[in-house]
């Protein structure tokens, strides 16, 4: 048995993705064998906020001690067995302040960071490994600035965390998008329609661009380039006419905007604790407009549309091969950093090589598609050139 070296806390925040459980498994197994105790913090930052610092209190809903047996059972599955939330401890609405703290925190918006630090100390956690997107990790950086030892792991379907070419969940997102788009082709071809598929991507168009590059779609529209609906309609009519089954396909990033729009399309006006409104609806708008504009480019005849939002279908279920392998490597990278005493870091992949960068990168701009390099704005599709010496996913995190 290795000599005890300290206690590591793990949490998963934001949206679930396939690959979170493999990352938790990799961290735990390596950490236990190196001599660390591992504690899983439940429901993202929510568990550590709601905790009661009393040995007699029932905190089973807020944390659990992790063992090899526990993580082995979950490590091959999707989602996160630690559960997740979009809790932001530094801007917690008064209604979400735990009952035992309401006498002290009475504002409409409250910063519970002092309680978070006390709770981490009460649990005896020496190092914290948050796994999440830029929102979750931005609070991890806040704790780092408060002096806590943090090593972060990037995950998001959108692949837009700065400082890394790859985020956990992206491979499965691309794989599922390709599979589901090909599945929907049979209906589109049978009815000779346009196929409009809305995919993930608030700020970055990687989850539309890569599947299109792989042949899943004829065209794609991405957040980085507002598109003209007439241009898209004309191109899709052209594609449809060249296809033996008389249909064509476009992938639409959820954050894409039509030329002239002031903002993205949202399901409503309510925001989460990080200030984000829930995206959704651009696919519906594009579908309706394509139907309306199609006669102009199709000899006066309207073309109907098959319209589908993939949404949770690409983030549920088991991870693909890449999202089983990369989380394993990221988890071990995090332990390497802890063992060498290097914290305030984000594990990463840069130009196809595993690495790490300083965690303050999370405060920079979102990683987005370089339109000039990777997107043909005249053709509304990826550039299919300059692949020599490019990494696996072609588009890097360099701005």
User: Could you list the active site residues?
Assistant: 158
C-alpha to C-alpha distance for 293 and 88, rounded to whole angstroms: 44
Tokens of 136: 């979750």
SS3 178: helix
Tokens of 31: 């950490």
SS3 185: helix
Q: Which residue blocks in the chain are alpha helix, DSSP H?
A: 20-34, 45-50, 68-74, 113-123, 134-145, 170-191, 206-213, 229-242, 282-293, 322-339, 371-374
One-character DSSP codes across 277-336? EEE--HHHHHHHHHHHHGGGGTTT----EEEEE-GGGGTSS---SHHHHHHHHHHHHHHH
Beta strands 277-279; 305-309: pairing state: unpaired
Beta strands 277-279; 345-350: pairing state: unpaired
Q: How many residues are listed for the chain in this entry?
A: 399
C-alpha to C-alpha distance for 22 and 326, rounded to whole angstroms: 9
Sheet holding 194-199, edge to edge: 219-221, 248-253, 194-199, 305-309
Q: Which residue has the tokens 């809305």?
A: 198
Beta strands 219-221; 248-253: pairing state: parallel
Tokens of 339: 């063992």
Q: Taking a C-beta distance cutoff of 8 angstroms, is the pair 133, 16 a contact?
A: no
Beta bridge partners of 15: none
Q: What is the 3-state secondary structure (H, E, C) of 109-131?
A: EECCHHHHHHHHHHHCCCEEEEE
Q: Please state, in angstroms and as integers, the Cα–Cα distance from residue 23 to each residue in 18, 60, 224, 313, 359, following that order.
A: 10, 22, 30, 21, 19
C-alpha to C-alpha distance for 373 and 369, rounded to whole angstroms: 8
């Amino acid at each position: 048995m290795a000599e005890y070296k300290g206690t590591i806390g793990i949490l998963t925040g934001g949206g679930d993705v396939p690959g979170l459980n493999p990352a938790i498994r990799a961290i735990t197994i390596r950490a236990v064998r190196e001599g660390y105790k591992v504690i899983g913090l439940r429901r993202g930052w929510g568990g550590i906020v709601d905790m009661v610092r009393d040995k007699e209190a029932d905190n089973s809903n807020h944390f659990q001690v992790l063992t090899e047996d526990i993580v082995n059972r979950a490590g091959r599955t999707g989602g996160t067995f630690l559960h997740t939330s979009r809790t932001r401890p530094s801007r917690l609405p008064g209604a979400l302040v735990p009952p035992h703290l309401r006498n002290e925190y009475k504002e409409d918006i409250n910063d519970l960071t002092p309680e978070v630090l006390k709770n981490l100390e009460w649990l005896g956690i020496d190092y914290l490994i948050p796994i999440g997107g830029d929102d979750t990790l931005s609070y991890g950086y806040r704790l780092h600035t408060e002096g806590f030892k943090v090593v972060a792991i990037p995950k998001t379907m959108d692949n837009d965390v700065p400082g890394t070419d790859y985020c956990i969940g992206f491979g499965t997102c691309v794989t599922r998008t390709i599979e589901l788009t090909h599945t929907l082709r049979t209906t589109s071809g049978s009815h000779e329609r346009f196929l409009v598929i809305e995919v993930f991507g608030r700020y970055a168009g990687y989850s539309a661009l890569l599947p299109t590059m792989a042949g899943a779609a004829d065209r794609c529209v991405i957040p980085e380039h507002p598109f003209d609906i007439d241009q898209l309609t004309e191109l899709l009519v052209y594609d449809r006419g060249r296809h033996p089954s008389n249909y064509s396909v476009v992938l639409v990033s959820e954050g894409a905007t039509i030329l002239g729009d002031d903002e993205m399309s949202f399901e409503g006006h309510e925001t989460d604790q990080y200030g984000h409104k829930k995206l959704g609806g651009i696919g519906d708008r594009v579908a309706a407009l394509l139907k309306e504009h199609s006669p102009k480019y199709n000899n006066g005849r309207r073309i109907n549309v098959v319209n589908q939002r993939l949404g949770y279908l690409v983030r549920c279920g088991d991870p693909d091969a890449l999202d089983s392998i990369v989380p394993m490597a990221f988890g071990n990278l995090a332990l390497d950093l802890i063992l060498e005493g290097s914290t305030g870091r984000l594990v990463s992949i840069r130009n196809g090589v595993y690495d790490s960068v300083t965690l303050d990168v999370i405060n920079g701009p979102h990683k987005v598609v370089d339109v000039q390099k990777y997107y043909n704005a005249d053709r509304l599709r990826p550039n299919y050139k300059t692949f020599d010496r490019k990494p696996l996913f072609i588009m890097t995190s360099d701005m």
